[in-house]
A and B are shown apart, each in its own frame.
Chain A
Amino acid sequence: MSDTIPIQLTVNGRQRSLRVAPHHTLLDVLRDDLDLTGAKECCLVGECGACTVIVDGRTVDSCLVLAVEVDGASVTTVEGLARDGSLSPLQQAFLDRGAAQCGYCIPGQLMSAHALLETNPHPSLDDVQEGLAGNLCRCAGYQQIVDAVLAAADGADR
């Protein structure tokens, strides 16, 4: 067995220090060590985006990132989107538009959409489709998901 390595990171604004095994992914550590089960484990090959989180402002598939790689980084998961107990406008738009069917892909969809709107507050339909191309939805609720992102982008309160 290889030794564990100490890492420090900021998760949803909170400083965390922990020891991780080098072969454990960021997804493993979020779910198993930090009890943040929003990011989902699904394909484990970078295709479905269910494990999407934001690292230093950019989305990654956390199944393809080793936990040791994010030492010193700032990580945002779906648990970090709500503020003071209320959903973010983007999350609210997902609810209002019925974008969540079974809901399994939704944390990943939300993180991709959140990152998109941070850099491009007024995306076109094409921008949204391209921005979410790495997130599959097996319930095929794509129309509602795209509608929700466009609706959130329109909302002045973002």
Chain B
Amino acid sequence: MHPFAYERPGSLAEAIALLGRHGAEARLLAGGTDLIIRLRDGSLRPSVVIDLKRVEELRPAIREEDGRLSISATSVMTDIAADPRVRRHFVALAEAAAVIGSVQIRNRATLAGNICNASPAADTAPSLLVYGAVVVAAGPAGTRRIPIDEFFVRSGATTLQRDELVAAVELPLPARRIGAAHVRRTRRRGHDLASVTLTCGVDDAGVTRLAYGSVGPRPVLEVDESGTLADPGSTGEARAGVLERMFLGASPSPRSMRASPEYRVAMLRALGERALRMALDRLGGG
């Protein structure tokens, strides 16, 4: 690994000042499960690494406040997957957090790091999209809230500014009852990114939200407000038609080593149907 300086700010103000001072030369470090690999392979060569784990305001915490669940930037997948409130209100996020990497990876990997890394295959992204998560960005001008659908741009790029960092991810506590499920397809559990990662959520007003990743430059959210997918009386054909339209946003790369475009689209259909069934079951089962 090439040498770099290491900074360990104790406060958010200090972290933001360091980010401002070092600009493009700096990289933020959370769990390091993406960053350290890129430092080692030389694809990133910052002169300063700013570790967020001792920032008082960003300490690992999942808090319920003002009708939302706020997950701080250094909260790791192990804790998110086990949190009773996440499991109760946002089960598809708990499911996604629980299948990321291995125990060792989940003990380090943060939710904020997962979305900031902005891999199209990020497993938490579809659930965050379905639940309408909001990213709390902190910068020199204070904090602003970015709806998750406006956060992702393309592989490796988000709407976060260079002088900002993600302080927390907020999930509005659902006003309606919602059944949801996360499913994915990988070549080998614990050692590979998803070739398709997908979450489906259905609420008791009949609105179905479907989000999927790893089949294009960024994760995609589609909403069916017609009620066709949620209606137990809909024909298989009607459902397939709606799903097909929802998958038009998929544009898998023909150059991927992980899976061919044809395979990914076939898997998208199969997983979409499976997640919809699970979501409906869960909605029905209360």
Chain A interface residues toward B at CB < 8 A: 1-3, 5, 21-25, 44-47, 49, 52, 58-61, 63-66, 68-69, 112, 115-116, 130-131, 133-136
Task: Look across to chain A and name the residue whose beta carbon is closest to the beta carbon of B105.
Answer: A46
Task: Look across to chain B and name the residue whose beta carbon is closest to the beta carbon of A115.
Answer: B103
Q: How far is the CB of B44 from chain A (nearest CB, A)?
A: 12
Write out the residue numbers on chain A whose beta carbons fall within 8 Å of the beta carbon of B51: 66, 68-69
Write out the residue numbers on chain A whose beta carbons fall within 8 Å of the beta carbon of B4: 2, 22-23
B84 interface residue, CB < 8 Å from A? no
Write out the residue numbers on chain A whose beta carbons fall within 8 Å of the beta carbon of B36: 25, 63-66
* Cβ-defined contact, A61 with B40, below 8 A: no
Known: A64-B33, A69-B51, A69-B53. A52 touches B104 (CB 8 A): yes
B127 interface residue, CB < 8 Å from A? no
Task: Look across to chain A and name the residue whose beta carbon is closest to the beta carbon of B47.
Answer: A2
Q: Which 10 A/B pairs are nearest by Cβ-Cβ distance?
A: A134-B102, A22-B6, A133-B190, A23-B1, A58-B107, A2-B3, A134-B104, A61-B104, A64-B36, A59-B104
Q: How far is the CB of A64 from chain B (nearest CB, A)?
A: 5
Q: Which of A45, A64, A66, A131 contacts B6 (CB 8 A)?
A: A66
B270 interface residue, CB < 8 Å from A? no
* Cβ-defined contact, B107 with A60, below 8 A: yes
Known: A45-B37, A46-B101, A64-B33. A23 touches B108 (CB 8 A): no
B78 interface residue, CB < 8 Å from A? yes
Q: Interface residues of B, CB < 8 Å — how many?
A: 28
Which of B5, B8, B40, B190 has the most A CB atoms < 10 Å from its CB? B190
A151 CA to B5 CA, complexed, in Å:
47
Given contacts A25-B1, A63-B36, A112-B104, 16 further A-B contacts (CB under 8 A): A2-B6, A22-B6, A22-B49, A23-B1, A45-B37, A49-B104, A52-B104, A60-B107, A60-B108, A64-B32, A65-B32, A65-B108, A133-B102, A134-B101, A134-B102, A134-B191
* Cβ-defined contact, B3 with A46, below 8 A: no
Q: Which of B5, B105, B108, B190 contacts A2 (CB 8 A)?
A: B5
Q: Which of A21, A46, A112 contacts B37 (CB 8 A)?
A: A46
* Cβ-defined contact, A60 with B53, below 8 A: no
A66 CA to B33 CA, complexed, in Å:
11
Write out the residue numbers on chain B whose beta carbons fall within 8 Å of the beta carbon of A115: 103
* Cβ-defined contact, A61 with B105, below 8 A: yes
A82 CA to B33 CA, complexed, in Å:
30
Which of A25, A44, A60 has the most B CB atoms < 10 Å from its CB? A60
